[in-house]
Amino acid sequence: MLNERTRTERYDKAEHLRALHRPGDPLVLVNVWDAAGARVVAAAPGTRALATASHSVAAAYGLPDGEHLPFEELAALVRRVAGAVSLPLTVDMERGYGRDAAEVGERAGQIIAAGAVGCNIEDGLEEDGGLRPVDEQAERLLAVRRAADAAGVPLVVNARTDALAQGLGADEALRRGRAYLQAGADCVFALGASSLPVVERLAGELGSVSVLATADGPSLEELAGAGVARISMGPGPMGAAYAALRRLAEDAANRRPLPADLSYRP
C-alpha cells in the first residue's frame, strides 16, 4: 500500500505522462537500463519522461531478453531508477511476467509500488513466436488497469502488438489495437511499423500510437508528422553507449588520444 503522499505524487506523474502522449507532437523516449543512465538522460534538456527497455535491462544482467530476468530483479531496478530521478518512469514489462491475467495484474501492482507510472505489455509469445489470442491479451490489460485503479495510480498502459513484426499486416494490428484500447490501454505500440503510410494509417485509425525509432527508419520529424503520440528507441541507446565504450577500449588498447568526455560523471 502506498501512503497518501506517495500516491498523490505518483498520480500526478502518471497524469503528466499520459498528457505527454500527443498525436503529432509525440513524447520521445531514450530508453535506459540502469540508474546512472537514467540520470544522464533525465539531465538532458528537453527530456520529459524516462522508459526502460527489456532487452537492455536483461543484457545489463548478462541475460537474453524474454522474461529471463527474474521479476524480483526487475522490480528492484525500477526502485533504483525511480529513486534516482524525478521524471515519470514507464517500464517495459514484456509479456507481463504472469501465467494468467490475475498474476499479470499482481505484477503491475508491484511495479507501481516500485515507482513506475507507466508500463509496456506485449502480445507476442516468446515460446513459439506467435501472438496471444486477442481476448486473452485484453483480459491481461484489464487486469493491469484494475490493479492500477486499486493502487490509486492511473498507470499509463502502452499495449504492444507484434502483428506487424510477425508479418500479419496492418489490418491485424488495427484489430488488436482497437481491442487493447477498449480493454483500458492508453496507447498502442505497433512494433514493426516502419513505413510512413502504415504509421499514418495506424495513427489515423487508433488515435494514440507508439512506434520504435531506428537509425535506418523514418526520422523523428517524419514520425511526428505521421501523427504518432509516442516514439521510443528500445535497445538502441544501449547500442550507442556501448559503441562509444568499444571505441574507447580500442583507443586505449592502441595508445591513441582519449576523448575529452572521459571526465564526464553521471
Q: What percent of the chain has pLDDT over 70?
A: 99
Indicate whether 6 pLDDT > 90: yes
Closest listed residue to residue 203, CA positions, set 233, 179, 232, 223 = 223
Torsion region of 8: left, alpha or beta (phi above 0 gives left; psi -120 to 50 gives alpha):
alpha
Indicate whether 116 pLDDT > 80: yes
Query: Grid coordinates representing 113?
Result: 509500488
**For the segment 200-235, what is each residue's pLDDT rounded down to a tens digit?**
999 999 999 999 999 999 999 999 999 999 999 999
Range name among 125-129, 155-159, 218-222 with the lowest pLDDT average = 125-129
For residues 228 and 217, the answer to whether their CB atoms sit within 8 Å is: no
Closest listed residue to residue 208, CA positions, set 221, 223, 195, 227 = 227
Which residues, at least 6 apart from 151, have a Cβ–Cβ distance to it below 8 Å?
2, 7, 109, 112, 113
For residues 110 and 72, the answer to whether their CB atoms sit within 8 Å is: no
128 band by pLDDT with thresholds 50, 70 and 90: low
Largest CA distance in the chain: 59
pLDDT at 82 (0 to 100):
98
DSSP run (H or E) holding 151: helix 134-151
Q: Could you give the CA distance from residue 32 to residue 241 in angstroms, rounded to a whole number?
A: 10
pLDDT at 127 (0 to 100):
63
Q: What is the pLDDT of the chain when averaged over all its residues?
A: 97
pLDDT, greater one: 261 or 36: 36
pLDDT at 252 (0 to 100):
96
Q: What are 126-131's contacts with CB under 8 Å, separation 24+?
A: 126/66, 126/67, 126/95, 129/166, 130/166, 131/161, 131/162, 131/163, 131/166, 131/168, 131/176
**Helix, strand or coil for residue 93?**
coil
Answering whether pTM is above 0.85, one says yes
Indicate whether 152 pLDDT > 90: yes
Q: Please name every residue paired with 118 in a beta bridge, in sequence order, or none if there are none.
A: 90, 156
What is the mean predicted confidence (pLDDT) over 87-108? 98
Q: Please name every residue paired with 119 in a beta bridge, in sequence order, or none if there are none.
A: 91, 157
Q: Could you give the CA distance from residue 161 to residue 254 in angstroms, rounded to a whole number?
A: 46
Q: What percent of the chain has pLDDT over 90?
A: 94
Tracing cell 523516449 back to the chain, one arrives at 29
Counted residue by residue, the chain has a size of 266
DSSP run (H or E) holding 47: none
Closest listed residue to residue 112, CA positions, set 83, 81, 75 = 75
pLDDT at 192 (0 to 100):
96
**For the segment 170-202, what is each residue's pLDDT rounded down to a tens digit?**
999 999 999 999 999 999 999 999 999 999 999
**For the segment 31-88, what is each residue's pLDDT rounded down to a tens digit?**
999 999 999 999 999 999 999 999 999 999 999 999 999 999 999 999 999 999 999 9
pLDDT at 47 (0 to 100):
98
Write down the CATH number for the domain with range 4-255. 3.20.20.60
What is the mean predicted confidence (pLDDT) over 16-44? 98
